[in-house]
Chain A
Amino acid sequence: MSSTLGVLSDAERLFIVHGVQDDLRSDGRACEDYRHVEVETDVVSNTSGSARLRLGNTDILVGVKAEMGEPDPGRPKEGKLEFFVDCSANASPEFEGRGGEELAIEVSNALQRIFSSKSTLDLTALCIIPAGQCWVLFVDVLVLECGGNLFDAVSLAVKAALFSTRLPTVIVTADDEGQQEIELSDDPYDVKRLDVDNVPLIVTLSKV
C-alpha cells in the first residue's frame, strides 16, 4: 500500500487520511460500512437451488445441482459438496484467457476449506444409504462481474443458494434380500431443505 500511496500527491493523501480519521468514505459510507447488497434466490429454474448476488459492481451467480453419488470411503455417512468457480472474462479484463484461473482456484479452495469443517453444514443430512449412496451437491459459482469484495460476495451467494436448495425426498426400501432400492416421491412439493445457519460469511478488510 505504501508504494501506491507514494505516488499520490500530498493533497490526495491528506484527503484519504482525513477520511479515515472522520470515518467517512468518498461515497458516503463509513469505514466499516458495506456496500449495498442485493440477493435474489431461485433464479435458475432447472437447478436445485440458485442465487444471484450483487454487491456494488460485483455480480455473482451460484447454482446448486444435486446428483446421486457414492460417499467417500472414509466418511461413509456423509454427503459431498463440490465447488467450481468460474471467473469469466466478462467479469474483468484481467480474467481474459486463463487469467482468471488462479483466482478461481483460490476462491474454490477457500470455499472447500470453509465447508470441510463439520460445524459449517451437517453433511450427514445428505446421506441416503450409509456407504452406499449420498447426495453430491455441485456448487457452481459464476463471477459475472468483479467489482471488489469477491470472497465476501461469493460466500454470501453460496449461502443463499444452499438456503434455497430443495432436495427431492427419497424413500429407501429394502427387499427381503437386503437389496436397497431408491424411490422418489412423486410430489414435487415433498422436498428437504438444508440448514445453513452455521455457514460462515467472509469479510474482507483492508488496512490503511
Chain B
Amino acid sequence: MLKSKTFVKKTRKGGVLKVVREHYLRDDIWCGSAACGQCPQDKPVLESDPEIDSSLCGFPHYLIPDTNVVLHQMDVLADSAIRNVIVLQTVQQEVRHRSGTTYQRLRDQSNNPDKNFYVFTNEHHRETYTEREQGESSNDYNDRVIRIATRWYNKHLQENRKDGEAPKVKVVLLTNDRENREKAQKEGLLAYTVHQYVKSLTGNPELVDRLAQVDMGESTDSDIKNEATGRVLFPEHLPLSQLQTGIKSGRFLQGSFMASRENYLEANVLVHGDESRSIFIQGHAHLNRSVNEDAVAVEMLPEDQWKCPSSMVLQDKDGDEETSEPDLGSPKVRSNAIPSGRVVGVIKRNWRPYCGVLQPSGIKEATRHLFMPAERKIPKIRIETRQAETLQGQRIVVSIDGWPRNSRYPKGHFVRKLGEVGDKDTENEVLLLEHDVPHQPFSQAVLNCLPSTPWGITKEDLACRQDLRDLPICSVDPPGCTDIDDALHYLEKPNGNVEVGVHIADVTHFIRPNTPLDQEAANRGNTVYLCDKRIDMVPELLSSNICSLRGKEERFAFSCIWEMTKNAEIVATRFCKSVICSKAAMTYAEAQMRIDDKNRNDAVTFGLRGLNALAKILKKRRIDAGALTLASIEVRFHVDSETHDPIDLETKELRETNSMVEEFMLLANISVAKKILSDFPSCAMLRRHPQPPPSNYDILIKAGKSKGVDIETDTSKSLAVSLDQATIPSEPYFNTLLRIISTRCMMQALYFCSGTLPESDFFHYGLATPIYTHFTSPIRRYSDIIVHRLLAVSINADKSFPDLLDKYKSQALCNNLNFRHKMAQYAGRASVELHTQLFFKNKVTEEEGFVLFVRKNAVQVLIPKFGFEGTIFLKSQDGRGEDSPFVFNEEESSQTAGEVKLRMFDRVVVQITVETSHIQHQKLRIRLVKPEVPGFSVPPVEASDKISQPPVKKVKT
C-alpha cells in the first residue's frame, strides 16, 4: 500500500520547500517475539519467556520506552538487567534526530544479541501506521503512534500465542510524560514511568542509582520553591531560536567553552570561525552553568566591565552551596583587561560520562552526594546514590543530566564503578576514558580482515615488488620496541655518489580501504603509548609481527631511495614497493656502539657510519634554515617486573643515532610530501605547523628580560639564534628552561588536506620546511596510511578510491586525526603523572627545582630530574592570604617574603610527598624547603630518608 508523507520545511536560504516522500506500508513486518505463533520469522529477537523481577509487573513482559526515556535513561537501558525491549522506529528516528551519541548507543544495544532489543518498524507496518490528525502537534502524534504500536503488540501477542503453552507476554510502555501515560492507561495499556518501573525491580536495586535526574515537565516550578535554598543562582538561558537570531545579527558570538584548568571561576570562549579570537569569562553568573567544551552563545560586556585574568590558582574545594566568590583581583586594573563576556545560552551541550571519585559526605546515610571529576575543568556533580558506602575510595563514572538554575552544581547520576582509587589498572582505565582513547579489544569483524598465519611471501607478491633483500638494511629503535616501522640502508655507488634508502613497513598492503580494519584504524587514529601499556591502532599481529620490520625476516616495505652526493645533496629520488630483509634490528645504544667500534667493518656498520656522516650535514643545514630545537623533559620509568610498579625513573638520554634516524625520516617525509602534492594538488594529506601569533611569545620575552636576555621572535631562525645565545654560565639550566618555555609558546602542528588551504599556509614552522607530511610510521599513525595510499597511486602501485580523492572527507579525517593525536599526547602525559605519583608513594623526597611561573598566590616549579611541574601555594586559596608572608609584585612577577624573593628561574629546593590525608584525590604535594621562609618553608628531611637510586637498570616493560 502506498501513502505519501508531506511536510514543509524552511531551507537555509529562507525559502520554503514542500517535501513529498513516498511511504510504503507493508504487511510482512514481523513482531520479533519468540512467543508468537503467527509471524513466520527465522530468529525472533525477543524471548518467549522474558524474565525480570518486578513488583509492578509480576508477569513476563516486554518494554517499550518512549523517546525521552531513551534519551535520558540510556544508562538504565544499557544495563545488562534490562532485556527484551521493543525499540519503535518512531522512537529510534526521533532519538537519532536529537542526539547522535545516544542513537549510537541505542544501535549498539540493538546489535547486541544478549540484550534482546528488537527494532520494530512500526511506521511501515500496515496496522500500526497512522496519519497525523488535524491540529495535532508532532509530539502528540508521536505519542499516539507509540500507543498504537503498544496496543497492537498486546493484541498481537494475545491472539497469536504459540499453541497455548507459552505464557501470556504483555507489553509495558515506559513513559515519563504524564499525559501520554494517562491516555495509555485509559486505553487499557500498561504504562509506567521509568522511575516507577526501575524502583519495582526487586532483583536489581542498584539500577535506581543510574536513573537520570531529569525534571519531569513543568512540575519543577513548584519544586524549585520547595527546595530548601529556594534561590535562583544563575541567570536564565535564552531559548535557542533567540540565540540563533542573536548570533545572526552579531549581538551574540558562538564559541566553544574552555574552562580554565587553574581557576574554576574563569574560562575562555573560543569563537567559532575565528580561532584566534577568544573571550574571557569570569565568575559564577557569567559562566552561567557552562561546562567545558559546550558550544555556547556569548554576549560581550561593555568595555568598562572588562576583566583581567586573576593570576590565581583556584580550586573549588568547599562543598557547600554558597556562592560567595573570592576576590578575583580588582577590576580597576584597566590596562590588563581583556575582552570579556557572559554566557547567555548553551547551543549544544558536549557532556560525556566523567570519571572521578565521590566526595565523602558529612552526614551518614545521606543519599545526596557530590562527585569530584578527575578532570579539573569539569565542575563537581551532585548525584543521588544509596551505595555511597561501597563507593568510597572507588573510581566511578558519572553522567550529567542537567543543571537547574537553583543548583550550585549540575545534577547527574551514577553510571558505573571502575575500581579502587590508586590501583594502577583502574587509573589507566580512567585516563583512557578521560582522553577518549578507544581501547576496547578489536572486534571480530576487524580481526577477520587480518591475513592468515603463518604468513609468507608468494611469487605473485615478488612479481610486483622490487627485490631489495640483498641490501644491507638495518633498523635503529628505542629498546623494547616491537613495532618497527622504519629501516635504512646506505651504499656507495661507482660514480662517487651514495645511495640512501628509507624503508617503511608496507601497512597499506594489509589494510585495504573501507574494510572494518581500516575503519577501526581511522577512528583510533594513532597508537597511544602509556608508561606501561600500548594501545595499538592496528591488531598486534600486524603491528608487532607481519608489518614490523624485524631483523633477519623478509618483510614488505615501501621504499624511498635517494641518490645523493657525499655532501647530502639529493640527485634523484625514487619510490617503490619492495621486499626487504633487515640485517639487524638495533637499539640506539647498540648502533652507537657499532659506529664507535673501530674493529667492526661489516656492510651494516659501514652503512651506519655513512648515514651518520650524512645526517650531521643534513641537521646542520636544517638548523641553518631556522629549525628549532626545543626542550621538553621526557622521563622513563624503570618498572618492577612483577608488581609493575615504578621503582626508578630517568630522563631520556639522546644519542647521535637518535638524531641520525630522525634526519632521514624528516628527509623521507619531505620528499614524499613534495611528490604527493605535485600529483594530488587538492587532496594530499600534509602536516603544517603555523607560526605562533607574536603575543604567544610575550611570556618568553618577559622571562628573558628578567635575566637581561633579549629574545627575538620574528622568525623561527631568529628565535633559534637567540635561544642559542641565551646562556648564563652561572646558571647552566637557564637555557633549557627557556627552551621549555618556548615550547609552550608554540602552536599545535596539524594534519590538513592540501585543497583546503592556500599554499602559503602549508609551512612547518618548527622544522622550517615549506612542506611536510607523515610517511614513516604507518603502524602507529593513520595519517601515514593515507599518505602511503596516495604515494602508491602516484607511482601506479595501487588503485585509487573515491574517498581518497575527496578533499572534504579527507579534511574530516584530518580533524579526527588531529583530535586523536592531541588526546594521545595528553593521555601519555597523564600516564607519566600517574606513574610519578605511584613512584613517590610512601616517600618523602627532596629535589632541586626551578621557578617556571610566578602567580598571584602560587609559584609553579619545574623539577627537572623527574620532568614534572608542581604548584606551591603561597597563600590560602581565597586569595586573601593575610597569613601568608608573601607579597606579590605583578610588574616584575615576583613573590617577596621578608628577605626572600622568588622570581622566575630561581633555583629552589622542594620537598615532594604524596598527599594521603585526602584519600579521595591523591596528589603530589610540593613544599618549599629552600630558600627558607620562616613560618612557611619546611625543614629538610634527614639524609637517610632520601631515596637511593637502585644501581641496577631494569628494562622498560
Q: Which residues of A contact B (CB under 8 A)?
A: 45-48, 66-68, 168, 173, 175, 177, 179, 181-184, 186-190
A181 vs B246: C-alpha distance when bound (angstroms) = 11
Are A182 and B14 interface neighbours, CB within 8 A? yes
Chosen A-B contacts, 18 in total, with CB atoms closer than 8 Å, are A45-B6, A46-B20, A67-B15, A68-B14, A168-B18, A175-B246, A177-B249, A181-B245, A182-B10, A183-B241, A184-B8, A184-B9, A184-B16, A186-B137, A186-B138, A188-B8, A188-B132, A189-B133
B4 close to chain A: CB less than 8 A:
yes
Are B20 and A66 interface neighbours, CB within 8 A? no
A53 vs B831: C-alpha distance when bound (angstroms) = 78
* CB of A97 to closest CB in B, whole Å: 34
A187 vs B251: C-alpha distance when bound (angstroms) = 31
Question: What chain B residues lie within 8 Å of A189 (beta carbons)?
Answer: 132-136
A-B contacts besides A45-B6, A68-B15, A168-B8, 18 pairs, CB < 8 Å: A46-B20, A47-B18, A68-B14, A168-B16, A175-B242, A175-B245, A179-B245, A179-B249, A181-B245, A183-B10, A183-B241, A184-B16, A186-B137, A186-B138, A187-B132, A188-B6, A189-B132, A190-B135
Instruction: Sort A-B residue pairs by CB-CB distance and give the 4 closest, nearest first.
Output: A189-B134, A46-B20, A168-B8, A45-B20
* CB of B123 to closest CB in A, whole Å: 16
B7 close to chain A: CB less than 8 A:
yes
Question: What chain B residues lie within 8 Å of A68 (beta carbons)?
Answer: 14-16
A189 vs B245: C-alpha distance when bound (angstroms) = 27
Please name the residue on chain A nearest to B6 by beta carbon: A188
* CB of A137 to closest CB in B, whole Å: 12
**Chain B, 1-40, contact with A by CB distance < 8 Å: what is the 0/1 string?**
0001011111000111011100000000000000000000
Select B18's contact among A46, A173, A187, A190, beta carbons within 8 Å. A46
Given contacts A175-B245, A188-B6, contact A67 B16 (CB under 8 A): yes
Question: What chain B residues lie within 8 Å of A186 (beta carbons)?
Answer: 137-138
* CB of A168 to closest CB in B, whole Å: 4
Are B135 and A187 interface neighbours, CB within 8 A? yes
Question: What chain B residues lie within 8 Å of A177 (beta carbons)?
Answer: 249, 251
Question: What chain B residues lie within 8 Å of A168 (beta carbons)?
Answer: 8, 16, 18
Question: What chain B residues lie within 8 Å of A187 (beta carbons)?
Answer: 132, 135-138
* CB of A66 to closest CB in B, whole Å: 7
A175 vs B15: C-alpha distance when bound (angstroms) = 20
Count of interface residues, chain B, beta-carbon cutoff 8 Å: 26
Please name the residue on chain B nearest to A168 by beta carbon: B8
Question: What chain B residues lie within 8 Å of A184 (beta carbons)?
Answer: 8-10, 16
A68 vs B137: C-alpha distance when bound (angstroms) = 25
Please name the residue on chain A nearest to B16 by beta carbon: A68
Query: Binding site of B, secondary structure by majority: helix, strand, loop or mixed?
Result: mixed
A191 vs B6: C-alpha distance when bound (angstroms) = 13
A173 vs B246: C-alpha distance when bound (angstroms) = 13
A186 vs B251: C-alpha distance when bound (angstroms) = 28
Please name the residue on chain A nearest to B15 by beta carbon: A68
In the complex, which residues 98-137 of chain B have their Cβ closer than 8 Å to any Cβ of chain A? 132-137
In the complex, which residues 553-568 of chain B have their Cβ closer than 8 Å to any Cβ of chain A? none
Please name the residue on chain B nearest to A185 by beta carbon: B8
Please name the residue on chain B nearest to A66 by beta carbon: B16
* CB of A190 to closest CB in B, whole Å: 8
A133 vs B87: C-alpha distance when bound (angstroms) = 43
Question: What chain B residues lie within 8 Å of A173 (beta carbons)?
Answer: 241
Question: What chain A residues lie within 8 Å of B242 (beta carbons)?
Answer: 175
Question: What chain A residues lie within 8 Å of B133 (beta carbons)?
Answer: 189
* CB of A180 to closest CB in B, whole Å: 9
* CB of B670 to closest CB in A, whole Å: 52
Question: What chain A residues lie within 8 Å of B14 (beta carbons)?
Answer: 68, 182
Question: What chain A residues lie within 8 Å of B16 (beta carbons)?
Answer: 66-68, 168, 184
Given contacts A68-B15, A188-B7, contact A175 B249 (CB under 8 A): yes
A183 vs B10: C-alpha distance when bound (angstroms) = 8
Question: What chain A residues lie within 8 Å of B249 (beta carbons)?
Answer: 175, 177, 179
Question: What chain A residues lie within 8 Å of B245 (beta carbons)?
Answer: 175, 179, 181
Please name the residue on chain A nearest to B8 by beta carbon: A168
A186 vs B6: C-alpha distance when bound (angstroms) = 11
Are B18 and A48 interface neighbours, CB within 8 A? yes
Are A181 and B251 interface neighbours, CB within 8 A? no
A177 vs B249: C-alpha distance when bound (angstroms) = 9
Please name the residue on chain B nearest to A189 by beta carbon: B134
Please name the residue on chain A nearest to B244 by beta carbon: A181
Question: What chain B residues lie within 8 Å of A66 (beta carbons)?
Answer: 16, 18
A33 vs B249: C-alpha distance when bound (angstroms) = 62
Question: What chain A residues lie within 8 Å of B136 (beta carbons)?
Answer: 187, 189
In the complex, which residues 242-280 of chain B have their Cβ closer than 8 Å to any Cβ of chain A? 242, 245-246, 248-249, 251
Please name the residue on chain A nearest to B7 by beta carbon: A188
A19 vs B823: C-alpha distance when bound (angstroms) = 95
Question: What chain A residues lie within 8 Å of B135 (beta carbons)?
Answer: 187, 189-190
* CB of A45 to closest CB in B, whole Å: 5
* CB of A184 to closest CB in B, whole Å: 5
A187 vs B133: C-alpha distance when bound (angstroms) = 9
Question: What chain A residues lie within 8 Å of B241 (beta carbons)?
Answer: 173, 181, 183
Please name the residue on chain A nearest to B5 by beta carbon: A188
* CB of B868 to closest CB in A, whole Å: 51
* CB of A134 to closest CB in B, whole Å: 12
A46 vs B14: C-alpha distance when bound (angstroms) = 19
Question: What chain A residues lie within 8 Å of B8 (beta carbons)?
Answer: 168, 184, 188
* CB of B141 to closest CB in A, whole Å: 9
Question: What chain B residues lie within 8 Å of A48 (beta carbons)?
Answer: 18
* CB of A68 to closest CB in B, whole Å: 5
* CB of B144 to closest CB in A, whole Å: 14
* CB of B90 to closest CB in A, whole Å: 16
A190 vs B133: C-alpha distance when bound (angstroms) = 11
Question: What chain B residues lie within 8 Å of A46 (beta carbons)?
Answer: 18-20
* CB of B209 to closest CB in A, whole Å: 37
A187 vs B135: C-alpha distance when bound (angstroms) = 7
Residue with the greatest number of chain B CB neighbours at <10 A, chosen from A168, A173, A183: A168
* CB of A146 to closest CB in B, whole Å: 29
A66 vs B246: C-alpha distance when bound (angstroms) = 29
Please name the residue on chain B nearest to A179 by beta carbon: B249
Question: What chain B residues lie within 8 Å of A47 (beta carbons)?
Answer: 18
Please name the residue on chain B nearest to A45 by beta carbon: B20
Please name the residue on chain B nearest to A48 by beta carbon: B18
